[in-house]
Structure 1
Amino acid sequence: MPRAARVDSAHITPSAHYTGFVWYRHHLAEEPFVTPFGRLAHGLLAPVSWGARVAFGLDVEHLLLQRHLLIDALLREAVERRGVRQVVEIACGLSPRGRRFCARYPDLRYLEADLPPMAARKRLLLHEEGWLDARHQVRPVDILAEQGVHDLQALFSGLDPEVPVLVITEGLVNYFALPVIEAFWGRLATQLQQFPSATYLTDLYPDLREHPRYRQLRWGIDLVGRLTRGRYYLHYRGDSAIVDGFGRCGFGDVRVHDPKELDAAPPDAWPALVRVVEARV
């Protein structure tokens, strides 16, 4: 793989520490998920976050919670109503979701995956707390690898091909240019075809240029890019374009969810800036 691709993958890791503290702050994670860097980053960015709320009406933590809670809700539905018993969370970072869902559903197998350094850190965290076992594991993966020990085929090789599976990526896809992430989605769809049923859940920030807060969103993503030493891309111009894009990547049943589904917002409220995509092969 080209060196540039590897560097792009590494940009994501700093934000994992920040979001890890956000989940803890909002009672979604236990204290072991908090890192000193995450606590420091949250403190340093607090004035910036406050300024964004006051000046632009843009609440960064609210955006993070919107996507996280909606993914949780869709995962619960898949487990309780559609018989999903295998979950793979790619780019897991310091997400507490695997811990929470394994505790809630004793029959669930949860495989977390990330770049090797973050995967090692997550594995150590779970091991030290006694949470790592045969049902809850962590493996390294590089979503840009087309072959090799860290590619998607290696990641999925240990799963039961006779059991339905659900794959999650959160806070990942907008760090990559659209051709790059669509290539990943194509490889992912190919891997998911081996299962009797397979679902993919991901958050995605579309390029909603008509949105009343589009300028504020552009400011926010520029800030994220500077903090992560990379770029942050907006994908697709709307929900129908999202459906078409995922269809080109091999997903036949695509549904686009607005976090307002959970917020019970009034009918005339502005639409959310983030979407959660539910795609099946």
Structure 2
Amino acid sequence: MSRAARVDSAHITPSAHYTGYVWYRHQLAEEPFVTPFGRFAHGVLAPVSWGARVAFGLDVEHFLLQRHLLIDALLREAIEQRGVRQVVEIACGLSPRGRRFCSRYPQLRYLEADLPPMAARKRLLLHEEGWLNARHQVRPVDILAEQCANDLQALFSGLDREEPVLVITEGLVNYFELPVIEGFWARLATQLRQFPSASYLTDLYPDLREHPRYRQLRWGIDLVGRLTRGRYYLHYRGDDAIVAGFQACGFGEVRVHDPKELEAAPADAWPALVRVVEGRT
């Protein structure tokens, strides 16, 4: 893999510390998931976040919670209604989801994965708290790698191919240009077709240029790019384009979820800026 690809993957990491603190602030994570850098970054950005809310009606934490809680709801549905007992969360960062769901569902096997440095940190965190066990594990992965020790094939090699599986990515895909992330989705779909049933959940910020808050979204995206020392791309021009794009990558059934599904919003309220995509092979 090229050095450029490694940089593209690695620059995401700073945001993992920030979101880890956000989950803790909203009682979705226990204190061990908080890092000093995450607490510091949240404090430094608090005035900026306040200004964005007042001036633009742009609430970054609200966007994060929208996507996180909707993914949680769809995961619960998959476990309780479709019998999913294997979950793989790629680019897990400091997400508390594995801890919460393993505590709630004793039948669940939860595999977290991230770039080697973050995976090592997450593994140590879970080990020190006594949460790492045969059902809840952490492995290294690089989503851009092909035919190496940390590629997708290696990640999925230890799973039960006779059982359904569900894969999650959160806060990942918009850091990559569309051809790059579509390459990952195509490789992922190939792996998922080896299971009797498989599904994939991811958040995605589409290029909603007609949205009344598009300018504010672009402002927020530029800020995220500066904080993570990279760029943040918007993918697809609406829900229909999302469906077509995921189907072209090998997902036969695709649903696009608006976070309003979890909220008692009036019928004429603006759609959310983030989507959660559910693809099945």
TM > 0.5: yes
1:202 aligned residue: 202
Percentage of matched positions with identical amino acids: 89
Paired residues for 1:1-281 under 5 Å: 1-281=1-281
Gaps of 5+ in 2: none
| CA distance, structure 2, for counterparts of residue 16 and residue 2 of structure 1 | 23
CA-to-aligned-CA distance 1:184-209 (integer Å, 9 cap, x gap): 00000000011000000000000000
- Secondary structure of the 2:134 match is coil
- Secondary structure of the 1:202 match is strand
- Secondary structure of the 1:272 match is coil
CA-to-aligned-CA distance 1:213-255 (integer Å, 9 cap, x gap): 0000000000000000000000000000000000000000000
| CA distance, structure 2, for counterparts of residue 212 and residue 172 of structure 1 | 25
What is the one-letter code of the residue matched to 2:3? Answer: R
CA-to-aligned-CA distance 1:129-158 (integer Å, 9 cap, x gap): 000000000000000001100000000000
CA-to-aligned-CA distance 1:240-273 (integer Å, 9 cap, x gap): 0000000000000000000000011111111000
Gaps of 5+ in 1: none
Q: 4+ runs of 1 displaced by more than 3 Å?
A: none
What is the one-letter code of the residue matched to 2:5? Answer: A
Q: Which deviates more, 263-272 or 45-54?
A: 263-272
TM norm structure 1: 1.00
TM norm structure 2: 1.00
Task: Tell me the matched-pair count.
Answer: 281
Superposition RMSD in Å? 0.3
| CA distance, structure 2, for counterparts of residue 85 and residue 143 of structure 1 | 23
| CA distance, structure 2, for counterparts of residue 227 and residue 59 of structure 1 | 17
